[in-house]
Amino acid sequence: MTAQLLNLEKQFHSQQAKRILLIEDNDINRMLLHDYLSYSKYHVQSLAQASHFFATIDEFQPELILLDIKLPDIDGYSLLKQLQQNPELSKIPVFIVSAFAFKSDQEKALRLGARRYFVKPVNLTVLMMAIEEELTSLRT
């Protein structure tokens, strides 16, 4: 597993840093994901709550968003709805990273515009492959 992660890191190392916005209220999860993505040569901006979500998008201009569903100030479903209502913001791919494992939660998120849904604890290799696949498809 470690060898796979290091190989992925080498693949991503040669590319220009892509911007990922991470919205996760759990401090440990946020820190671990932020550090791992940064180590993998992504430029990451993290938020613990959604209160500055849209201002951060305007300022940071992420190429991909990792979004938790259960946040202290608003749920991720509401943010997905708001993103989809804005033609420019709806182009930003959103991956859900949530502890909600029910199929109905996944279906709802995908129906609201999420591109992928990952259940915590997330497999970092699978997440990194999905991120790279999504960002590569945006370049072509």
**Structure-block tokens of residue 58:** 């305007």
**Rg of the chain over CA atoms, in angstroms?**
14
Tokens of 56: 């951060």
What is the token pair recorded at 96? Answer: 């859900």
* 3-state SS string for 19-41: EEEEECCCHHHHHHHHHHHHHCC
Confidence of residue 8 (pLDDT cuts 50, 70, 90): low
* Token couple for 28: 């440990």
Across the beta sheet with 43-47, the strand order is 43-47, 19-23, 64-67, 94-98, 116-119
What percent helix, strand, coil does the chain show, rounded to 5?
A: 50, 15, 35
Which whole-number Å values give the CA distances from 64 to 2, 82, 92, in the listed order?
Answer: 25, 16, 6
d(CA 51, CA 53): 6
Asked whether 24 and 48 are in contact (CB, 8 A), the reply is yes
Calpha distance 83→116 (Å, rounded):
15
Per domain, the residue ranges of the chain are 2-130
Read off the pTM: 0.87
pLDDT band per the 50, 70, 90 thresholds, residue 17 = confident
Could you tell me which CATH number the domain at 2-130 has? 3.40.50.2300
Instruction: Report the distance separating Cα 1 and Cα 23, nearest Å.
Output: 26
What's the pLDDT tens digit per position in 39-67?
Answer: 999 999 999 999 999 999 999 999 999 99
| pLDDT tens track for 81-128 | 999 999 999 999 999 999 999 999 999 999 999 999 999 999 999 999
